[in-house]
Amino acid sequence: MYPELYDVVDKNWKDFYASYIATYIERDINSLIMTDSLTFTKFLTVLAARSGQVLNYSNISNEVDISVPIIKNGS
């Protein structure tokens, strides 16, 4: 899935994914969904914690503290 992560022996996976998320935020998310990268990181964390569960926009909205329409647009 991510050849660089496995091809480079000393590559730290935490640094790799942090960099990947930072690039994603800078390139796409700030212009499409939110302007605050901390909010987006919280959004990702909340979604990851709920993977495999029924999607509840209101619950996610309350926890991330952004509106339901923005949650619907971003998920």
Structural domain boundaries, residue 21: 3-74
Residues listed for the chain: 75
Q: Which residue has the tokens 């939110």?
A: 34
Model pLDDT, residue 50:
93
pTM above 0.75, yes or no: no
Model pLDDT, residue 22:
79
Model pLDDT, residue 53:
93
pLDDT by position in tens, the chain (length 75)? 555 656 666 767 777 778 877 777 767 766 665 557 778 778 888 989 999 999 999 999 999 888 898 888 754
Q: H or E segment at 63?
A: helix 57-64
Model pLDDT, residue 9:
66
- The count of domains in the chain is 1
